[in-house]
Structure 1
Amino acid sequence: MTEGDDDRILTRLRAGLDDESLLANGRVLPERQLAERLGLGRGRLRSLLDVLEAEGTIFRRQGQGTFAAPPPGGVGIETLVRQVTPHNLMEVRMEIEPALAALAAQRATSEELSVLERLMQATLSTGEARAYETADDIFHFKIAELAHNPLFLTIHQSIRSVRRHAQWTDRRRETFSTDRIAALGRQHQDLFAHIAGRRPSEAAAEMERHLLSVSSTMLRVRRHEVEAKAE
C-alpha cells in the first residue's frame, strides 16, 4: 500500500467520524468491525487510528473505547449535576485550569502543540454558539491532556460532564453573540501563544483571565434565572 492509499483511507475515516456512520453510541466502531467495513487488516487500521489520535481527531481511553470527541467523565454525574451551581463550577475551574495550562506549557511536545493549535483555530472559525461550544470544549480538554497528569485529567473530565449536562449551561449559549464568540476566540489565541512559547506563568495567568470572562457570562445567566423565578 502506498502513502496515497493511506491518505484516501484516512479521508474516509474522517468523513465517517464526521457524519457518524463509523460511530455507535458515541464510540468509534470496534476495530474488527471497522477493519471489515474499510477492507483493511487490523494492524494497518491501528496505525491509521494512531494518526487520527495524534492529530486530535479521535480519543482513546483504556477500558472505555475510542471516541470521536473527548470521552465522558465518571459515573454518578447526574447526581453531581443536580447539586453543582455555576459558582461551584467556576470556582473549581479557576483552581484547576490555570495549573493545567502551566503544565501544558512545560510538558507538551511539538507534535501535541501542533494539534492544540489546530483545535484553537477551530474556535475561531465559527460564529455559531453551539459549534463554538463544541470547539471550546475540545480545546480545553486537549490542554488538560497535555498536562500529562491522569488525576488532573480525571478531575477535568468531571468538570466537562457538568458543563455538558447542566441546564444552565445550555441557556448560556443564548448570550453568545458573534462579537462575544470572537472575543473568547482571541483569548484562546493568547492562551495558545503562551503555552506554545513555553511560558507557564503567563499561560496560567491568561487562562485565569479567560475563565473570569467566561464566569461573568455564566453567573449573569444564573442571576437572571433566579430573578425570573422570584417574579
Structure 2
Amino acid sequence: MPEPQRGLIEDDLAKQLLSAINDGDLIKDGRLPSERAMAERFSVTRARLRRALDLLQDDGAIFRRHGQGTFAAPPPATNVDSLRNLARQVTPRDVMEVRLEVEPALAALAAERADARDIKRLNQLVQATLNVDKMHDYEAADDLFHYKIAEAARNPLFLTVYESIRSLRKEASWTHQRRENYSRETLAILGQQHLTLANAITNKDSIAAAEAMELHLVTVSKALLRERVRKIALD
C-alpha cells in the first residue's frame, strides 16, 4: 500500500470522499467500496480513512451498517428479498396505515433524543425540500429527512421497522405515482410541513412533533388518494 499522504488531515480527506461520492465515482449500487479499497485509492491508512468516514457519518452524508457496509443513502432493510414478495400484496393504504402508527412515535422520540448534529442535519434537509421544482430533488431530500428522524429516535428496533417500511415502498410497483403527479403546490405544502416538524424536534416538543408528523402523513395519504381517483376517472 502507498505511504500515507503527509499533511492530509481528516477534514480534507472527508471532502475528497464526499466529492467522489457526489460525482458517482465511488458508488456502486448505492454502496461504497471496502475500507481497504478506499484506503488504497486515496493513499491513506485505514485508521485515517475511518476517522474521515466518521466525519461524513456525523454529517449524515453516509450511512454505515455492521455487516452491510457503507452507503451513500440510507441502507436497505436486511430482509429485502422477503419484502419484494410482500410488496406485491400491499397497497398504498396498507403502507400509510402503518406509517401513521410508526412515524409519529419516531418523531416524538426524536424530539426527546436528537442531538445538535441531528438537528443541524434535519434543518439542512428541510431547506432541501423547500422551493423545489423537480420531483426527484424533493424525493431525495424527503427520503433522507424521514430516515434521519428515525435514526434520531435512538431505538434500533424502531429503526429496523422503519427500514423495512422504506424498502417495501421502494419495491412496490405503485411508488412511481408520487414521482409523476405531485404538483408544485403539493410539494410546497409538504415542504412547509417538514419545516414545522423540524422546528418541533428542535424545540424538544415531542407532542408537537408527533402531531406534525401525523398531519404530514395524512396530507401525503390524501395526495395519493386524489391521484388514484383521477386515474380511475380517466380509465
Give the TM-score range, shorter chain.
over 0.9
Instruction: Say if 2:100 is the partner of 1:94.
Output: yes
Q: Counterparts of 1:74-93 in structure 2 under 5 Å?
A: 74-75=79-80, 76-93=82-99
The answer as to whether partners of 2:88 and 2:173 remain within 8 angstroms in 1 is no
TM-score by length of 1: 0.93
Which residue in 2 is equivalent to 1:199? 205
State the partner residue of 1:72. Answer: 76
Q: Find the counterpart in structure 2 of residue 106 from structure 1.
A: 112
Distance 2:117 2:140 in 1: 22
Q: 1:42 aligns with which of 46, 55, 60?
A: 46
Matched, 1:147 2:153: yes
1:169 aligns with 2:175: yes
Structure 1: distance between partners of 2:146 and 2:54: 21
Please tell me the residue identity of whatever aligns with 1:84: V
> Structure 1 residues 116-125 or 139-148, which shifts more?
116-125
Identify the residue that residue 133 of structure 2 maps to in structure 1. Answer: 127
Distance 1:80 1:70 in 2: 20
Identity of aligned residues (%): 48
How far, CA to CA, are the matches of 2:206 and 2:126 in structure 1? 18
Deviation at 1:109, TM superposition (A): 1.1
| Runs (5+) with no aligned partner, structure 1 | none
Matches of 1:8 and 1:146, distance apart in 2: 27
CA contact (8 A) 2:177 2:224 kept: no
Q: Distance in 1 between matches of 2:220 and 2:158?
A: 21
Q: Counterpart of 1:60 in 2: which secondary structure? A: strand
Unaligned ranges ≥5, structure 2: 1-5
Aligned residues: 228
Q: How far is the alpha carbon of 1:96 from its aligned partner?
A: 0.5
- Equivalents in 2 of 1:82, 1:101: separation in Å? 28
